[in-house]
Amino acid sequence: MGFLDLTPTARGIAWALLAMVSFTTVPIGVRFLSPYLPAAETVMLRNFIAVGLILPWVIGAGWRSLKPKRFDLHLMRGAFNGSGMILWFWGLTMMPMADAVALQFTLPLFALILAVLFLGERVGMRRSLATLVGFAGALIIIRPGFADVGVATFAVLGSAALYAATLVVMRLQSRNDKPMTIMFWSNLFMGLVAVIPAALVWVPPPAPAWPWLLFLACGGWLAHFSLTKALVTIDAKMAAPFDYLRMPLVAIAGYPLFGEFPDALTWTGAAVIAAATTYIARRDARLAKERRAAEAAVAGPIR
């Protein structure tokens, strides 16, 4: 039985699993590159290499395929995503990988707050309490007053907030753009955002850095491509829980490679954040279903 013989749901789950495994390559690649290159330079080179990987598709599909419907939104997305990636890569060089991944689980919480502030979304008492519980989970991981809270923690949380802003922009983006078109502009603008910060700390990339840069670019490209394929095959609410596999996958890789393994409080905090964000996602899905049912009832039968 081949991949194409699977049901659409099974294929979507397979794509989601591949995306999570591919996302695991990012912190590993960043950690191996950290002795050679500053974070901003890594971001710039990684994204320009990714643009090069997409060029064969562009040549095959024609340059007209790159024309987006809302260029300004692609620019905003690249700015938020690129800035968030610089903070993310920088934070990864200074704290255990699994702890950084666990803190990034706060991304949906930041996205909810930004959606309220900039998209006018209404949030009830239950979702507000769930958001507070989620941030309490982040405090369990950070342990202010009991452990040193350094710039790495704020860098990772800042990256989560900027990635959340990217999600808000994505809600405004036209759904008519093809995934590869979005990936091309996203990688190009992320690379351009990092040019000036990279120039300020530039070091010539040594030969050992290039294989890891290619590893990082290929892993990131495969992760986003697989996630896009998953989201067009299965519902977002079905794909979302797979995101929480990133922490155990990173923990499994981090122990033999770097001697890192998260402690009990990190696992507990990650579980609290996962429970809170899962509750919010499920409640959003249920409320959206109820709204559609109410709108259908008001519209009445089609005659």
Q: Is 124 domain-assigned?
A: yes
Q: Is 11 domain-assigned?
A: no
Q: Token match 């905090």: residue?
A: 269
Q: Could you please report the per-residue DSSP string of 130-162?
A: HHHHHHHHHHHHH-BTTB---HHHHHHHHHHHH
* Model pLDDT, residue 281: 79
Q: Give the count of beta carbons closer than 10 Å to the beta carbon of residue 173.
A: 16
Q: Is 131 domain-assigned?
A: yes
- Number of domains present in the structure of the chain: 1
Distances, alpha carbon 94 to alpha carbons 34, 140, 210, in Å: 10, 19, 22
> For residue range 52-67, what is the model confidence (pLDDT) as tens digits?
988 888 888 777 778 8
DSSP code at position 205? P
* Model pLDDT, residue 7: 79
Q: Is 108 domain-assigned?
A: yes
Q: Is 109 domain-assigned?
A: yes
Helix crossing, 246-258 with 97-104: angle to 10°?
A: 170
Q: Is 192 domain-assigned?
A: no
Domain carrying residue 118: 98-149+263-294
* Model pLDDT, residue 220: 87
* Model pLDDT, residue 3: 57
Closest C-alpha to 287, from 132, 116, 124: 124
* Model pLDDT, residue 303: 42
Q: Is 18 domain-assigned?
A: no
Helix crossing, 209-231 with 8-33: angle to 10°?
A: 160
Q: Is 117 domain-assigned?
A: yes
Kindly state the tokens that stand for 114: 């930004």
Kindly state the tokens that stand for 21: 């495994």
> For residue range 117-144, what is the model confidence (pLDDT) as tens digits?
877 777 778 888 988 998 999 988 887 6
Positions of the chain with pLDDT under 70: 1-6, 144-149, 171-176, 235-237, 287-288, 293-303
Rounded CA separation 166/168 (Å): 5
